[in-house]
C-alpha cells in the first residue's frame, strides 16, 4: 500500500493507518462515552463485536467492543449497513465503542479459558448483548484509522469481562462452531450460503471459533477480513464462475461513494480479475503527491499464488463482490475494477467500503458496448487520469488489446 502522507484536513499533521488524527480529539462523542464510566466499570451492549490486534503476533490482544451504556448498537459494527452514510457518522459509531484489551496467545483458542469462551459466545450472538466490563484505568480518548479495518475508538486495558445476559445465538452458527471436524473454509462457505454478513464471518474467524478444534487460533481482525474475502471469492470462482457461460458484450458499471469513484468493466472471456487503484493528489495517502499514482494487482484464469501486495485487502474485497455478481447472473467474465480515490476521502474507513462500492456498482444497469475500444473510449471521458496511463499499468488490458486469439488466425 502507498505510504501514508500528510493530511491537508489536519493542516500538515500526520494522518495514517494507525496514527491519531488530532482533529477528532475534539469530538464530543468520545467525551460523553468515557464520562459514563464509573470507577473504571461499565455495562454496555456490544454490537456484538470483538477486535484482535496484529502487533506482536502470536502474542496479541483481544478486546470486546462496547459502548458504555445499554442501547441498540447493532449498527455500530455492521459495515454492510453503512453504505451511503457520511464518513463523519460512521466515525461517530466507532468513537462510541470502547476497546477493552487483554493480552492473549492466539493458540489459546484451541482450549479456551472461561473468559475467552464468553467472548466467543458474545461474537456468536445475533443481536447486541449486554456485558459488564472492569478496566484497569479510564480509556484513552483516541481514534485510529487503517485502510483495512473500520476506525478504532477509545482504548483501555481490560481486567475482566462477563456476559450480563445470555446471548441469543442462531442455530446455524451454533451448529457450525460446535463442529470441530469442519475446516474453516468449509465453515465460512456454509455460513455465507446461509445468508450471514461477511462482517459476521470475519468476527467468528477472528475469535477462533471456526476450523478443526485442535488447530483453532485467534486471527487478527485485519487478517481475518482479508482471509474471509479471499476464501469466499476463491471458492465462488473455482467452484462456480469458471463453469458458467461467458457474457457476450462489454459492460461498464459505476458507483461513487466517499469520493471513491469505481468503474467495473466486465468483458467477454474466461475468468480473470484486476484491481487498478489511482490515488489522486490531495487524497488520504497522497496529500503531498504532485501527480496521480496508480497501483495494481491481477490474476489470470488459474488465479494468484501470492498475496496481492500492492492493493492488499482491497483486491480481495472487490474480487468477492465481482464473483458474487457473476454467480448470481450465472455468467463468466474477465473483470477489471478501476478505483480513483479523491481528496474527499479524508479518513480511511476500511475495505468494507470497497466491497460495498463494487456491490453497489454491480446492482446498477450497465452500459453495454460491442467492442473493447468503444468501452475504453467512453471510460476515458469519465476517469480523471488519462486512459493511456491505465493501459500502461494494466496486465489484463495489455492482454486483451495485444494478444491474438486462435480464432483470429482463421479470419
pLDDT of 6 reads: 36
Please give the DSSP secondary-structure letter assigned to residue 6.
B
Query: Which sign does the torsion angle of CA 146, 150, 153, 155 carry?
Result: negative
Longest dimension (CA), the chain: 82
Average the pLDDT over each of 2-6, 35-39, 44-48, 208-212 and give the range with the smallest value.
2-6
Can you read off the three cell numbers belonging to residue 99?
A: 476497546
How many Cα neighbours within 13 Å face the side chain of 191? 31
**Confidence check: pLDDT of 8 > 60:** no
- 218 CB contacts (<8 Å, ≥6 apart)? 52, 60, 62, 104, 106, 108, 109, 206, 207, 208
pLDDT of 287 reads: 57
Q: Which residue has the cell 480481495?
A: 316
- DSSP characters for 59-76? EEEEEEEE-SS-S--GGG
Q: pLDDT-derived band of residue 403, with 50, 70 and 90 as boundaries?
A: confident
- With 0-12 / 13-18 / 19 or more C-beta atoms within 10 angstroms meaning exposed / middle / buried, residue 308 is buried
Q: pLDDT-derived band of residue 379, with 50, 70 and 90 as boundaries?
A: very high
- With 0-12 / 13-18 / 19 or more C-beta atoms within 10 angstroms meaning exposed / middle / buried, residue 259 is middle
pLDDT of 290 reads: 72
- Contact in structure between 5 and 26 (CB atoms under 8 Å): no
Q: Which residue has the cell 496511463?
A: 389
Of 215, 152, 223, which Cα lies nearest the Cα of 187? 215
**Confidence check: pLDDT of 19 > 70:** no
- Contact in structure between 257 and 84 (CB atoms under 8 Å): yes
**Confidence check: pLDDT of 3 > 60:** no
Q: What percent of the chain has pLDDT over 90?
A: 82
pLDDT of 121 reads: 98
Q: 66-119: per-residue pLDDT in tens?
A: 999 999 999 999 999 999 999 999 999 999 999 999 999 999 999 999 999 999
Of 132, 177, 173, 137, which Cα lies nearest the Cα of 155? 137
Please give the DSSP secondary-structure letter assigned to residue 379.
H
Can you read off the three cell numbers belonging to residue 400?
A: 486483451
Q: pLDDT-derived band of residue 18, with 50, 70 and 90 as boundaries?
A: very low
Partners of 253 in beta bridges: 264
**Domain ranges within the chain, ordered by starting residue:** 22-26+35-163, 171-239, 242-410
Average the pLDDT over each of 263-267, 304-308, 335-339, 342-346 and give the range with the smallest value.
342-346
**Confidence check: pLDDT of 258 > 80:** yes
**Confidence check: pLDDT of 1 > 80:** no
Q: 157-182: per-residue pLDDT in tens?
A: 999 999 999 999 999 999 999 999 99
**Confidence check: pLDDT of 149 > 80:** yes
Torsion angle, alpha carbons of 160, 166, 168, 171, to 10: 100
Q: What percent of the chain has pLDDT over 70?
A: 90
Query: What average pLDDT does range 375-385 have in this prediction?
Result: 97
Query: What average pLDDT does range 330-354 have in this prediction?
Result: 95
* CA distances (Å), origin 338, targets 63, 104, 196: 36, 40, 28
Query: What average pLDDT does range 310-331 have in this prediction?
Result: 98
How many Cα neighbours within 13 Å face the side chain of 161? 29
Q: pLDDT-derived band of residue 26, with 50, 70 and 90 as boundaries?
A: very low
pLDDT of 25 reads: 46
**Confidence check: pLDDT of 27 > 60:** no
Please give the DSSP secondary-structure letter assigned to residue 273.
E
**Confidence check: pLDDT of 321 > 50:** yes
Q: pLDDT-derived band of residue 285, with 50, 70 and 90 as boundaries?
A: low
Q: pLDDT-derived band of residue 188, with 50, 70 and 90 as boundaries?
A: very high
Partners of 261 in beta bridges: 256, 340
The residue among 24 and 193 whose pLDDT is bigger is: 193
Q: pLDDT-derived band of residue 283, with 50, 70 and 90 as boundaries?
A: low
From CA 310, how far away is CA 313, in angstroms rounded? 9
The residue among 28 and 275 whose pLDDT is bigger is: 275
Second-level CATH architecture of 22-26+35-163: Beta Barrel (2.40)
**Confidence check: pLDDT of 32 > 90:** no
From CA 263, how far away is CA 93, in angstroms rounded? 29
B/e letters for 133-161, b = 16+ CB within 10 Å, e = fewer, are: bebeeebebbbbbbbbbbbbbbbbbbeeb
- What is the pTM assigned to this prediction? 0.91
Of 325, 329, 330, which Cα lies nearest the Cα of 360? 325
Of 263, 210, 211, 271, which Cα lies nearest the Cα of 239? 271
Average the pLDDT over each of 152-156, 171-175, 231-235, 401-405 and give the range with the smallest value.
401-405
Q: pLDDT-derived band of residue 24, with 50, 70 and 90 as boundaries?
A: very low
Amino acid at each position: 500500500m502507498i505510504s501514508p502522507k500528510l493530511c491537508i484536513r489536519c493542516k500538515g499533521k500526520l494522518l495514517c493507518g494507525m496514527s491519531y488524527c488530532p482533529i477528532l480529539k475534539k469530538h464530543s462523542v468520545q467525551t460523553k462515552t468515557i464520562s459514563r464510566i464509573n470507577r473504571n466499570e461499565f455495562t454496555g451492549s456490544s454490537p456484538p463485536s470483538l477486535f484482535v490486534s496484529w502487533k506482536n503476533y502470536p502474542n496479541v490482544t483481544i478486546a470486546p467492543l462496547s459502548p458504555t451504556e445499554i442501547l441498540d448498537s447493532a449498527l455500530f459494527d455492521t459495515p454492510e449497513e453503512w453504505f451511503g452514510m457520511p464518513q463523519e457518522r460512521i466515525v461517530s459509531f466507532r468513537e462510541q465503542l470502547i476497546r477493552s484489551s487483554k493480552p492473549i496467545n492466539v493458540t489459546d483458542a484451541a482450549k479456551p479459558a472461561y473468559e475467552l469462551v464468553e467472548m466467543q459466545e458474545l461474537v456468536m450472538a445475533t443481536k447486541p448483548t449486554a456485558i459488564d466490563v472492569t478496566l484497569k484505568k479510564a480509556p484513552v480518548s483516541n481514534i485510529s484509522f487503517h485502510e483495512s479495518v473500520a476506525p478504532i475508538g477509545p482504548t483501555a486495558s481490560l481486567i475482566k469481562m462477563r456476559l450480563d445476559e445470555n446471548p441469543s445465538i442462531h442455530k446455524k452458527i451454533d451448529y457450525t462452531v460446535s463442529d470441530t471436524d469442519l475446516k474453516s473454509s468449509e465453515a465460512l462457505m456454509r455460513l455465507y450460503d446461509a445468508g450471514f454478513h461477511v462482517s459476521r464471518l470475519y468476527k467468528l474467524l477472528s475469535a477462533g471459533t471456526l476450523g478443526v478444534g485442535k488447530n483453532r487460533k485467534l486471527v487478527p481482525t485485519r487478517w481475518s477480513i482479508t482471509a474471509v474475502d479471499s476464501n469466499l471469492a476463491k471458492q465462488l470462482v473455482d467452484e462456480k464462475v469458471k463453469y458458467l457461460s461467458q457474457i457476450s458484450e462489454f459492460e461498464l458499471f459505476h458507483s461513487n461513494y466517499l469520493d471513491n469513484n469505481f468503474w467495473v468493466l466486465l468483458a467477454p472471456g474466461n475468468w480473470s480479475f484486476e484491481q487498478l487503484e489511482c490515488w489522486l493528489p490531495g487524497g488520504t495517502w497522497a496529500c503531498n503527491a504532485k501527480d496521480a499514482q496508480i497501483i495494481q494487482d491481477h490474476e489470470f484464469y488459474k488465479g494468484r499464488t501470492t498475496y496481492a501486495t500492492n492493493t492488499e485487502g482491497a483486491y480481495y474485497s472487490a474480487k468477492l463482490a465481482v464473483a458474487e455478481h457473476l454467480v448470481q447472473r450465472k455468467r463468466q467474465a474477465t473483470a477489471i475494477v478501476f478505483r480513483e480515490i479523491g481528496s474527499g476521502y479524508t479518513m480511511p474507513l476500511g475495505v468494507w467500503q470497497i466491497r460495498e462500492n463494487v456491490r453497489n456498482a454491480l446492482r446498477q444497469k450497465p452500459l453495454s458496448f460491442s467492442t473493447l475500444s468503444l468501452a475504453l473510449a467512453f471510460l476515458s471521458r469519465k476517469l480523471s487520469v488519462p486512459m493511456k496511463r491505465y493501459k500502461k499499468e494494466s496486465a489484463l488490458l495489455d492482454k486483451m488489446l495485444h494478444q491474438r486469439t486462435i480464432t483470429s488466425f482463421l479470419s
